[in-house]
Amino acid sequence: MPSQQPLELDIDEDKRELLANCGALCSGHFTLTSGRHSSYYFQAMRLLEKPVLALGAAESICEQLNDEQIDYVLSPAVGGITWGFAIAQQFPKSTSIFAERIDGKLTLRRGFQIPSGARVMLAEDVVTTGGSLLEVYHIAANAGAKIIGAAVVFDRSGGEFRMDCPIHAFASSRIPSWEPNECPLCRAGVDTETPGSRHLGSAKGKQ
């Protein structure tokens, strides 16, 4: 089993303690959703499984938005769904929807639609390479929406990942990751775990 330990994050002490206590940060040898390997994994659901923690994190992010009007919160399934709902809770008139991966491509299903001109906030639990976040960005942009920003629980890039809208992260830290053929843990023979949700269903592609 992976061990859990606090990591030096670019956030205040209270948030570091919260993440350590709920077990969201795990150490070991992990295959990330992006396919890269890392010695740390951020299990957002350990935070999001507690509604009071999820809503508290969402509230702390939405305080940065200066009373923006949000019509839709769009997240990628599966990991972003709970977080997207928590973000939507902060905007009483908003609708929470999500995109699902069909044949490797994120797609709106279940009758979900984004009207042209709608004000959309994107929501994702963890960003490493940002692939899934970019996919939902293009879904909203292609629908003619105005994308207000992206709300992220944990940004593993430490702010290095950028896109054409503001990114608001509850926590952020630059955590090293490697391609499998460059992974020092693989070379050391350490078994790897794949704790993410990308393997569900017909999941293909990159985060």
Residue 200 lies inside a defined structural domain of this protein:
no
Residue 202 lies inside a defined structural domain of this protein:
no
Residue 92 lies inside a defined structural domain of this protein:
yes
Residue 121 lies inside a defined structural domain of this protein:
yes
Beta bridge partners of 152: 124, 169
Q: Residue 80: which domain range?
A: 3-187
Q: The domain that contains 178 carries what CATH number?
A: 3.40.50.2020
Residue 133 lies inside a defined structural domain of this protein:
yes
Angle at 14 between CA 10 and CA 81, to 5 degrees: 75
d(CA 6, CA 171): 12
Residue 124 lies inside a defined structural domain of this protein:
yes
Split into its structural domains, the chain has a count of 1
Could you read off the pLDDT of 43-86 as tens digits, one per residue? 899 999 999 999 999 999 998 887 789 999 999 999 899 999 99
Mean pLDDT of 183-206: 71
Residue 194 lies inside a defined structural domain of this protein:
no
Mean pLDDT of 171-193: 91
Residue with tokens 């709300």: 151
Could you read off the pLDDT of 119-158 as tens digits, one per residue? 999 999 999 889 999 999 999 999 999 999 999 999 988 8
Residue 32 lies inside a defined structural domain of this protein:
yes
Q: What percent of the chain has a predicted confidence (pLDDT) above 90?
A: 64
As to burial, measured by CB atoms within 10 angstroms (0-12 exposed, 13-18 middle, 19+ buried), residue 82 is buried
